[in-house]
Structure 1
């Protein structure tokens, strides 16, 4: 079956069919949201203690946590952003999939087990074990919140695009309203359900996402009689770039700057995962370190299968829809996967409307689950690290701590709504890559030094976190992501003196260097006994929570 012959009338057809089937689409959407809310309320009733709120009572099995980790990780960026990036840039878009997947090996080999053994609820617990409590916990809390807000930006932008596409909203005010609605829902999820609710929503959503991607992959391959080379050939032909669509260099490699940008992106993707707060706190929801390791193995399997399917989704969208129509709906390509779903189901038919609604609802559930996980990571870091241990100096009760976490959730929700409304036209995969760069610059050096270097001091930790954080955020502010290009957040002004779109190449080595320099220049003598204690605990699990 050839999929090449269709004209621009598809766009008109799609518009009219979406209008006609809008009640069906909205009701399917409502069912998904209601189901996830029901799970949250049920889990909220089981959440009694701080351990329940922060770590789900440490009752999840390795497989359940592996599903939830993959649910946390396969975000709107993976589903919408990567499919869009592949559809527009071919091979270079697929590099995101590779980077996101390889990153898990760093998390598995270096971080999962020792972190599970040495902390209780947050990254700050691990750092504070052998450092001065208050400054280190403040730094860890600030860093967690900044990384989470960057990541939240991407999810909010994805949600705005998705719901606007479904409801036919074209006005900016309407899109801002959608971003606000997602923010409100996420606040409800976290304040009611805590970690238990969030984990169950993530497990359900991971199953739905894999099922949706499998169905679409099967349908795309069926269109091309399961001939992958036919699919790739048609995609290259329709892309307008010919054979170069299937070769490296369409997005990265045109100039020396874009080659450096690619290296920067690669480093950020591979090292960022092991520093992402919402992934790190997942290791605390299982009973033992062995289960933490096993859950990462499960996650790698599930995520690997999913990223293989993004090839079919991205190249399928390029072959069946074409870049012009993808860009017409959203310049960054974020709507490619839902557009493909509608095409596969039959544009203008009930089947097309149902598939579009189901895939979009799954993507929306994906966004809500990831957003809830991120908000939980940052609000628990605020409540546990900053409020309980810095402001109240360890004298806060569990009840007060959980109340602080709920208020922090509301505040973080409001900030991410405001920023998400501004970033609604940027590619979500690119935005997530920025969060990875910030996590790899500020969090990863400190975690690795803390676990594996006995001369590491409080000053080293502070220099590393604040230095990595400040350099990565500043470089992003003065990069083409924010200004100076048609695709920037503020296209009409130009203060982009830093040429790379991803700061990782500069800020990640800087984070490691500052951690080393701060420790070497520090007058404080590292506590050898404390380090020996942490080493035994992190490697053997003796005395772990």
Structure 2
């Protein structure tokens, strides 16, 4: 086998990435003898490192694959979706940096229990954290398994299952060994690799069109079948009133929901002070904006080079756009998985997914171990060593559960899981975070109404939406019991979540005495700003 054979290159690149990540996690684990070091990292990261780590958490497989496909299929509507990710970081850092950074807290439960009744606040946050992170874990693991099997040229669902187990095992090892600092290093490497991969693709695309973006976008419009209207809003969901409401709902949900995901908010806890948070924001916004600009170029290139008809025939959602583009850019290769370009891009995508699932697993395990076990069940009776052991055991439990469910659901539609994750985060977590950190009148009744009410409304709206039935791409395409027209319910469920939080706080029963902030202080929180 030639040294330049794509399979050899794939093995070398991926093995190198795994080895470097293990070394970084071992380095991060050195001296981890209490929960503060595991959850926060006592040495900390620089603003640049924190910014790249935050950017890595934001850029998921959905960003890389789905956004590229949406731009390739829907033009300007895909650009609007990409813009929502940058807006999300700005909302996240501007509103949440002050309340969440530099306070030595481990989880959102620590923050909210300072002002609300500790037990229901911690249990509620832990439940919703697991509910919103698990579907995204399933999507990422399923996508990683499929991509890895394709990259290695191993056909069949059994190969995908084996790859899911392998990726899941790495995920558990990285999160349990490296903790917050180790997964941060992995996010930084992932961000750099992804930037390099998309710079390569964008360069090859622009070279085809004489380095002129205007020529590229014009060719994409011609190949789309819509002409100049391709770069106008309305291609993805139509130009009707419901279609315009849909795109607004998607943008709102992504902007708010991504900002409140537990693995994102967890990145703020170790940052020391507002000044460092602002510096990290600059790096994060710069990295994410650069990647998204490159994704716009690559998505337009997929339409211009491959053609909308071919993209639609392969996958109506456009998720295969990146794969088909790599094959078109390397026409001498006999198949996609033997393309050197595809091998490089696939390694970057798998690295993206692996970093994302490690962060998600750590966030879910932190809520389970710290909020439920250490603070509710044992009520500060766990020693630092035992809490650290519980945190690592929780990583294993969450990881194994995610792998099993990912194998079972590998053939399911991923769109409903992605829609649920961000809609639930925006409708349930966003109201309690905003009210809990910025409104002194927020009560535990308002917390319950917003958290569980927003979650219930999201489940109800999605169940009876075109995402589940009544549409060729729905979970049950042969049945039709929909009555809610929007595929993404955030336009209605997000305001409803905020309204429920306000109503519950104004008219619900108030506690006789407030929870003292001192009572919720973690005994190991020495890492303060």
Shared fold, TM over 0.5: yes
Tell me how far apart the structure 1 counterparts of residues 28 and 16 of structure 2 sit (CA, whole Å).
18
Tell me how far apart the structure 2 counterparts of residues 503 and 350 of structure 1 sit (CA, whole Å).
40
The answer to whether the Cα contact below 8 Å between 2:100 and 2:268 also exists between their aligned partners in 1 is yes
Q: Does 1:121 align with 2:128?
A: no
1:213 aligns with one of 161, 178, 198? 198
Q: Does 1:438 align with 2:385?
A: no
The answer to whether the Cα contact below 8 Å between 2:223 and 2:304 also exists between their aligned partners in 1 is yes
| Structure 1 position 519, deviation (Å) | 0.9
| Structure 1 position 270, deviation (Å) | 1.8
**Deviation string, structure 1 residues 198-249 (Cα, Å, up to 9, x no partner):** 0111111111111211222122111101111211121122223333322211
Tell me how far apart the structure 2 counterparts of residues 169 and 260 of structure 1 sit (CA, whole Å).
42
**Deviation string, structure 1 residues 393-413 (Cα, Å, up to 9, x no partner):** 121222222222223222322
The answer to whether the Cα contact below 8 Å between 1:157 and 1:426 also exists between their aligned partners in 2 is no
The answer to whether the Cα contact below 8 Å between 1:81 and 1:334 also exists between their aligned partners in 2 is yes
2:489 aligns with one of 476, 494, 503? 503
Q: Note closer, same or farther for the CA distance 1:381–1:186 as it changes in structure 2 (3 Å cut).
A: same
Tell me how far apart the structure 2 counterparts of residues 390 and 250 of structure 1 sit (CA, whole Å).
50
Q: Does 1:447 align with 2:433?
A: yes
Q: Does 1:277 align with 2:265?
A: no
Q: Does 1:72 align with 2:57?
A: yes
The answer to whether the Cα contact below 8 Å between 2:42 and 2:527 also exists between their aligned partners in 1 is no
1:515 aligns with one of 465, 483, 501? 501
Q: Note the residue ranges of structure 2 that are not aligned, 5 or more in a row.
A: none
| Structure 1 position 81, deviation (Å) | 1.4
Q: Note closer, same or farther for the CA distance 1:45–1:489 as it changes in structure 2 (3 Å cut).
A: farther
Match of 1:31?
16
Match of 1:165?
150
Q: Note closer, same or farther for the CA distance 1:172–1:496 as it changes in structure 2 (3 Å cut).
A: farther
The answer to whether the Cα contact below 8 Å between 1:239 and 1:323 also exists between their aligned partners in 2 is yes
Match of 1:7?
none
**Deviation string, structure 1 residues 337-375 (Cα, Å, up to 9, x no partner):** 243234334541899832221111111111000110111
Match of 1:390?
376
| Structure 1 position 461, deviation (Å) | 1.1
Match of 1:457?
443
Tell me how far apart the structure 2 counterparts of residues 50 and 471 of structure 1 sit (CA, whole Å).
36
| Structure 1 position 292, deviation (Å) | 2.1
2:118 aligns with one of 133, 150, 153? 133
- With 396-405 and 410-419 compared, the bigger mean Cα shift is at 410-419
1:344 aligns with one of 318, 326, 329? 329
2:466 aligns with one of 467, 480, 504? 480
Q: Does 1:106 align with 2:87?
A: no
Tell me how far apart the structure 1 counterparts of residues 240 and 71 of structure 2 sit (CA, whole Å).
20
Tell me how far apart the structure 2 counterparts of residues 420 and 276 of structure 1 sit (CA, whole Å).
20
Match of 2:358?
372
| Structure 1 position 376, deviation (Å) | 0.5
Match of 1:4?
none
Task: Look up the SS of the partner of 2:19 in the other structure.
Answer: helix
Tell me how far apart the structure 1 counterparts of residues 398 and 495 of structure 2 sit (CA, whole Å).
29
Match of 2:348?
362
**Deviation string, structure 1 residues 283-336 (Cα, Å, up to 9, x no partner):** 112233321232122101111111111110100111112234435554533232
| Structure 1 position 87, deviation (Å) | 1.2
Tell me how far apart the structure 1 counterparts of residues 12 and 49 of structure 2 sit (CA, whole Å).
29
Q: Note closer, same or farther for the CA distance 1:521–1:238 as it changes in structure 2 (3 Å cut).
A: same
Match of 2:27?
42
The answer to whether the Cα contact below 8 Å between 1:457 and 1:524 also exists between their aligned partners in 2 is yes
Tell me how far apart the structure 2 counterparts of residues 32 and 105 of structure 1 sit (CA, whole Å).
30
TM-score (norm 1): 0.88
Match of 2:163?
178
The answer to whether the Cα contact below 8 Å between 1:161 and 1:330 also exists between their aligned partners in 2 is no
- With 131-140 and 301-310 compared, the bigger mean Cα shift is at 301-310
Match of 2:174?
189
Q: Note closer, same or farther for the CA distance 1:490–1:119 as it changes in structure 2 (3 Å cut).
A: farther
- With 449-458 and 403-412 compared, the bigger mean Cα shift is at 403-412
Tell me how far apart the structure 1 counterparts of residues 194 and 290 of structure 2 sit (CA, whole Å).
11
1:263 aligns with one of 244, 248, 255? 248
Task: Look up the SS of the partner of 2:339 in the other structure.
Answer: helix
TM-score (norm 2): 0.90
Tell me how far apart the structure 1 counterparts of residues 511 and 379 of structure 2 sit (CA, whole Å).
24
Q: Does 1:491 align with 2:477?
A: yes
Task: Look up the SS of the partner of 2:467 in the other structure.
Answer: coil
Q: Note closer, same or farther for the CA distance 1:347–1:503 as it changes in structure 2 (3 Å cut).
A: farther
- With 472-481 and 505-514 compared, the bigger mean Cα shift is at 472-481
The answer to whether the Cα contact below 8 Å between 2:115 and 2:514 also exists between their aligned partners in 1 is no
| Structure 1 position 525, deviation (Å) | 5.0
Match of 1:10?
none
Match of 2:396?
410
Q: Note closer, same or farther for the CA distance 1:113–1:58 as it changes in structure 2 (3 Å cut).
A: farther
Tell me how far apart the structure 1 counterparts of residues 169 and 479 of structure 2 sit (CA, whole Å).
32
Q: Note the residue ranges of structure 1 that are not aligned, 5 or more in a row.
A: 1-16
Tell me how far apart the structure 2 counterparts of residues 246 and 356 of structure 1 sit (CA, whole Å).
27
